[in-house]
Amino acid sequence: MPRLARQWRRLSLQRVMQKWTEIGFCEAGCNCDVNKLINQPNCSKPLYITGQTSYYLERFIMMVVSILATVALIGALFYHRLSLRLSSAILLLWTAAMAVAHLWTPWLLLPLAIILLPFNLPSLRRSLFSKPMFQRFQQVMPPMSRTEKEAIDAGTTWWEGDLFQGKPDWQKLHNYPQPRLTADEQAFLNGPVEEACRMANDFQITHELADMPPELWAYLKEHRFFAMIIKKEYGGLDFSAYAQACVLQKLSGVSGILAITVGVPNSLGPGELLQHYGTEEQKNHYLPRLARGDEIPCFALTSPEAGSDAGAIPDTGVVCMGEWQGQQVLGMRLTWNKRYITLAPIATVLGLAFKLSDPDHLLSDNENPGITCALIPTNTPGVEIGHRHFPLNVPFQNGPTRGNNIFVPIDYIIGGPQMAGQGWRMLVECLSVGRGITLPSNSTGSLKSVALATGAYAHIRRQFRVSIGKMEGIEEPLARIAGNAYVMDAAATLITAGIMQGEKPAVLSAIVKYHCTHRGQRAIIDAMDIAGGKGIMLGNSNFLARAYQGAPIAITVEGANILTRSMIIFGQGAIRCHPYVLQEMAAAASNDVNAFDQALFSHIGHVGSSTMRSLWLGLTAGRTSATPTRDGTRRYYQHLNRISANLALLSDVSMAVLGGSLKRRERISARLGDVLSQLYLASATLKRYDDEGRNEADLPLVHWGVQDALHQAEVAMDDLLRNFPNRLVAGALRMTIFAGGHHCPAPSDRLDHQLAKLLQQPSATRSRLGRGMYLTPSEHNPAGQLEQALQDVMAAEVIHDRLCKQTKQHLSFTRLDALAKRALEQGWIDAKEAEVLQRAEASRLRSINVDEFEPDALAVPVPEKAPQAASRASEAA
């Protein structure tokens, strides 16, 4: 038998298909039984195949080929997402063609038609399949609270929806208009914003005053910094989302407190809520006063008992009759205890979120309308306000507020009595916009400034006679700083484009908030590792420490990052971004079997398509998928096509296998959210590269950003499959998704070297990386001083290198003033070059030196504890 097997393997396809006419003998004349395919023991010749045997073998091979072709056809129908009826027609035609070719029996058409018929007759399909599935779906669908439902219903789905559905339309992405500033917005940036940056002395603000100086407060009010979102008809600036982002980025590069103070009134708060939901009377009263700075707003949501779980706030309001300014009016008795409220210590008008009840049915038949928002003047008797928290040595105005059984008119509700119970919807609808602008812009601007300053410092600072930026150990964190600054700016810019088109992308704002604050914090830690003592010693010359200290603040607010990653991004994305899940849930909630049937079978086709796309694109590493370009970024689009299909498949399988328990499987949810997030970051990076004219000099930044995102997406999928609770399903998913292996390694050392070098040398690419930053080397701007020092030092390096060659010595790049004097005396340089060396030495020393103080300069006088504060502290203890 082994010998016979070897002979079979020696037969070429041509000989197999050839019909031999010899019967009964092999060419060796051994009397072999050819029909039985058995050789005599002494026969060493290949066995020829008779005509009869060749016929059956040919039929067998053609049958196998036809079956494989049919499987491929079904896969192609799913891959291209053809409709059910068209796909059924194609399968019937294919079966008929196989029958005509005498490969299949025509009788196969009958059972195939019987199988396909119920699926193509909606009434029969609903009875046999959809109705039982509908009942099962209603049983397993996880319960959803009112606040969860309002959060899911709020906002819109934008580009993240394309990424989630497994087949992104790249032309659609590149057709989104690039955000641009108007002439008024650019003038504001060049004028008032530049002046505010010059006025800000961050060390004085954070250490000496624990607040901005009065003249800076007055300047901000005068130039309406707090009214960027307020419409011009009310005296505001009415800036675009992109202009707001540019303003905040520039301010945050100078002072975190300055950026926070300007950002909060222009984010979620009274101004935003009034414009969307306020009555005309409320708008006319408050908005002009807010625009002029006559009123300072704050918004109180967070309570000691309800932080990230804002829907569980214990603060209450009870509808009742009461006396107000000598008259009996319908109103509310409010009790609240809030903390962490930015601008609360100095606010004149308090936005308050509380749970409203109406036990006497004075408003309606609903006894518990729910979360409601109201505006309370802080001079209302009983309002406690004025105390401050001390957030991480970044003392922006932040503190608690309390009220106990305070009566106010019912008209204090934002939007009037008819908006009672609509507070949570109001908040989540507006939160997606504010969360997508303020925090990402502050983190991005801070990192961009730190990136330029750290690159300059790494070039200027020398150890072992070489710039530390040339050391491989320093190049690694420098590359991360540069790459993250580019990616974060791209992500923050792209979401503003969506907001400017009228979108309110709730899921995308969570992605951008999380990753900009998270990457920003990690990059600033890298910068501190590079700067060492220069970054640690506080003072006027420190460009880094306050950003380092304040980074956890952005991590914590407006949805703590742990919560955002593990619960919000995929938790909301799975429902909002999926093309059919929300339809299925709505149909189940409304008991609509017909709508459920349509959504269910579309969903099944979607799963089949995602499976086929994942398998094929995994086998081919995405090489067959369409891309919008043919340049060096082409392969990135193909990998993103593959991972997008993987995400669609993983999402559907996870929801099907885990059901309602997926809500509690936070680490699985987090990893699925990571994949979606990395898809967005990579696509935003490619969009930025396209919008900026595809400058090839920027490609190292693009390569790093996209490669890092693709690698992290693959790692997230691999981790998910290693930890998926159903091991059989996990194995099948792994074989489908990683059929061709892993394709996306992390950025290479060589690429890191390119980015580190880019960050240390002035160029057009480096200027684009730091676009919009305040780099004037003014007295209180250490980042601007470092930028000037870099130029001075690089100018001196040219002269220094020439002197080394001229003297044939390896001259130290220190005491350049002494070197200038000696070289000038020797006639090696002229007076102008000597001045360059002297200026570089002064800049170099200023860059590497740190501040020092008299001992009593660091002591802060402790005020005598107020009796009220003392009693409250003792009660808490």
pLDDT tens, residue by residue, 373-399: 999 999 999 999 999 999 998 999 999
Are 387 and 466 part of one and the same domain?
no
pLDDT of 871 above 50: no
Are 565 and 645 part of one and the same domain?
yes
Q: Write the pLDDT tens digit of every residue in 476-490.
A: 999 999 999 999 999
Q: What is the pLDDT of residue 317?
A: 96
411 burial via Cβ count (<10 Å: 0-12, 13-18, 19+): middle
Domain presence at residue 20:
yes
pLDDT of 34 above 70: no
Q: Write the pLDDT tens digit of every residue in 137-150.
A: 877 776 666 666 76
Are 516 and 643 part of one and the same domain?
yes
Q: Write the pLDDT tens digit of every residue in 278-332.
A: 999 999 999 999 999 999 999 999 888 887 676 788 999 999 999 999 899 999 9
Are 584 and 709 part of one and the same domain?
yes
Q: How does residue 572 score in pLDDT terms, banded at 50, 70 and 90?
A: confident
pLDDT of 253 above 50: yes
Q: Which residue among the candidates 558, 714, 787, 833 is catalytic per the annotation?
A: 558
Range from 6-10, 615-619, 807-811 carrying the lowest mean pLDDT: 6-10
Average pLDDT over residues 238-259: 97
The b-or-e profile of 746-758 (16+ CB within 10 A means b, else e) is ebeeebbbbbbbb
Q: What is the pLDDT of residue 66?
A: 85
pLDDT of 641 above 90: yes
Q: What is the pLDDT of residue 148?
A: 66
Q: How does residue 221 score in pLDDT terms, banded at 50, 70 and 90?
A: very high
The domain in which residue 849 lies consists of 788-856
CATH number (domain holding residue 374) = 2.40.110.10
Q: What is the pLDDT of residue 145?
A: 65
Element containing residue 385 per DSSP (H, E): strand 384-385
Domain presence at residue 268:
no
pLDDT of 23 above 50: no
Q: What is the pLDDT of residue 805?
A: 93
Element containing residue 833 per DSSP (H, E): helix 831-848
Domain presence at residue 760:
yes
pTM of the model: 0.89
Say how many C-beta atoms besides its own lie within 10 A of residue 335's C-beta.
16
Percentage of the chain surpassing pLDDT 90?
68
- Displacement of CA 739 from its chain's centroid (Å): 28
**The two three-digit tokens of residue 539, written as one number:** 């003072």
Domain presence at residue 142:
no
Are 361 and 486 part of one and the same domain?
no
Average pLDDT over residues 458-475: 95
148 is catalytic: no
Residue 227 in contact with residue 236, Cβ under 8 Å? yes
Interhelix angle 545-556/506-531, rounded to 10 degrees, is: 150
pLDDT of 30 above 60: no
Give the Å distances, CA to CA, from 707 to 109, 479, 494, 635: 50, 13, 19, 11
Are 385 and 497 part of one and the same domain?
no
Q: What is the pLDDT of residue 866?
A: 53
Q: Write the pLDDT tens digit of every residue in 42-75.
A: 554 454 455 556 667 777 888 888 889 889 999 8
Range from 123-127, 498-502, 652-656 carrying the lowest mean pLDDT: 123-127
For 621, phi then psi, to 5°, come to: 55, 30
Q: Write the pLDDT tens digit of every residue in 432-459.
A: 777 889 999 999 999 999 999 999 999 9
Domain presence at residue 793:
yes
Domain presence at residue 176:
no
Are 327 and 469 part of one and the same domain?
no
Element containing residue 785 per DSSP (H, E): helix 782-807
Element containing residue 343 per DSSP (H, E): none
Are 81 and 157 part of one and the same domain?
no
Q: How does residue 493 score in pLDDT terms, banded at 50, 70 and 90?
A: very high
Range from 102-106, 384-388, 513-517, 789-793 carrying the lowest mean pLDDT: 102-106
Give the Å distances, CA to CA, from 247 to 62, 188, 226, 497, 661: 69, 9, 11, 16, 43
Domain count for the chain: 4
Are 761 and 796 part of one and the same domain?
no
Domain presence at residue 869:
no
pLDDT of 22 above 50: no
Residue 688 in contact with residue 585, Cβ under 8 Å? no
Q: What is the pLDDT of residue 846?
A: 95
Are 792 and 754 part of one and the same domain?
no
User: Domain end: 392, 413, 434, which one?
Assistant: 413
822 burial via Cβ count (<10 Å: 0-12, 13-18, 19+): middle
User: Domain end: 358, 381, 413, which one?
Assistant: 413
Q: What is the pLDDT of residue 870?
A: 45
Q: What angle do CA 717, 721, 725 make, to 5 degrees?
A: 140
